[in-house]
Amino acid sequence: MNGVGSDPIPIQEIEECEVAIIGGGPAGLMAAQVLSQAGIHVHVFDAMASVGRKFLLAGRGGLNLTHAEGADVFAGRYGQRRQAIGAALGVMDAAGVRRWAQDLGIGTFVGSSGRVFPADMKAAPLLRAWLQRLRHPQSGAPVQFSMRHRWLGWDDAGCLRFGSAQGERRVRAKAVLLALGGASWARLGSDGAWVPLLAERGVAVAPLLPSNCGFDVAGGWSPYFAERFAGQPLKSVAIRIPAAPGSPPLFDRKGEFVATASGVEGSLVYAASALLREALARHGEATFYLDLLPALSAERVLAEVAHPRGSRSLSSHLKSRLHLDGIKAALLRECLGADALAQPGVLAAAIKALPIRLQAARPLDEAISSAGGVLFEVLTPDLMLEHLPGVFCAGEMLDWEAPTGGYLLTACLATGRAAAQGVMRYLGQKS
């Protein structure tokens, strides 16, 4: 969220506005750019002191703009919302994101993983160039910004209500575009406080849930493991989530993740987070199977484990024969009893498929993103709320989710552009 609150404060006179955009994240800023370039006067409101805060934090370790994989695979990253997000990607796809950045003077490159980054890896220069374009466009209308304005909903006359340090501000707009974010990273403005404001108007909203999140393991780690290995990565591993017998696994991917003091997190876990969260909701628990040595076959692992070790300890044997030590060896000991460790067949099977039982997702505010939001079923193809004519929605506040890898930002930019085009069509029909 970027702009919601409920403080009782003095009311000022009603102001007029052509298009009000509430939320200064990527979706809201993209919508503002599209409308501004069309000569439409846009006013962006945001509760924070500056725009793009989550955008800047996401780029702290290198801003992942989008992904260079094929369009079909790319669209598939949005799961059940593939069709809905695919419609927005038709307006602005991964190639479009790269062209947009280039138009702002920011070159991009494709990393070894297929992820696309700005040439200097940084978010701040891109945001500065973007805001410069919005405030001082080469053509079109400059965008006006009002910061520290918390959206309070609508009054009885349909005017937007904002809380500010100068008192309550009321704005009458010809069209409104909501780009209020999800409910992760509340300190940056996305706290989901917009949900009851829309619910009061009868807008159907799926519950906001953690996505791209970590999980707590069942029973927690032992004090020894948590103290010694929290924060250490498990590299060159694979996670598998089985399906029904005879069916392909629901998830089977190589990568890496990190052990935390209470469980697991990191890119490979994030990629599986939607499936794990759904399993927790259905069954109260979830399990994934960890392959500690995905480059080796089960037969090879069994042969090496069963190789006579003489007087060597098991730890020395595993390190010598399989280069398995450190956190990987510690995790085996954490999850297996002494009897299992002493049986080569059981130990080899665990190395290839170590069950990691989970008991809960980490809190929503810790998640990278959130699932849930305004249902596409209550939106027109132009992303306008069917029962609130002239009110459009874009970005993470819509009911979709995707893994990290540039898919989150691309969908926010794409839905922002698509909703802005919907606003233009709406204003054209109203004129």
CB 171 within 8 A of CB 21: no
The angle subtended at Cα 44 by Cα 39 and Cα 48, nearest 5°, is 160
Structure-block tokens of residue 124: 């701040």
Say if residue 129 is exposed, middle or buried (CB neighbours under 10 Å; 0-12, 13-18, 19+). Answer: middle
pTM as predicted: 0.91
What domains can you pick out in the chain, each with its CATH number?
Answer: 11-210+367-430 (3.50.50.60), 215-361 (no CATH)
Kind and range of the H or E element at 239? Answer: strand 233-241
- State the angle between helix axes of 82-89 and 407-430 in degrees (0 to 180), rounded to the nearest 10: 70
Closest CA to 421 of 137, 19, 35: 35
Structure-block tokens of residue 230: 């929290």
Residue 327 CA, chain-centre distance (Å), reads 28
Beta strands 354-361 and 215-217 are: antiparallel
CA distance 142 to 132: 10
Handedness of CA 30, 33, 36, 42 (dihedral sign): positive
Q: Give the pLDDT score at 1.
A: 41
Kindly report, residue by residue over 271-283, the tens digit of the pLDDT. 999 999 999 999 9
Report which residue type is found at 407: Y
Residue 381 backbone phi and psi in degrees, to 5: -60, -20
pLDDT tens digits in sequence order for the chain, 431 residues long: 455 554 444 556 889 999 999 999 999 999 999 999 999 999 999 999 999 999 998 878 789 999 999 999 999 999 999 999 999 999 999 999 999 999 999 999 999 999 999 999 999 999 999 999 999 998 999 999 999 999 999 999 999 999 999 999 999 999 999 999 999 888 888 899 999 999 999 999 999 999 999 999 999 999 999 999 999 999 999 999 999 888 999 999 999 999 999 999 999 999 999 999 999 999 999 999 999 999 999 999 999 999 998 889 999 999 999 999 999 999 999 999 999 999 999 999 999 999 999 999 999 999 999 999 999 999 999 999 999 999 999 999 999 999 999 999 999 999 999 999 999 999 998 75
Name the one residue in this structure whose structure tokens are 């919005």.
134
- For 11-60, where are the E strands, in sequence order? 11-22, 42-45
Maximum distance among all Cα pairs of the chain, rounded to whole angstroms: 88
Structure-block tokens of residue 357: 């039982």
**b or e along 56-68 (b: 16 or more beta carbons within 10 Å of the residue's beta carbon)?**
bebbeeebbbbbb
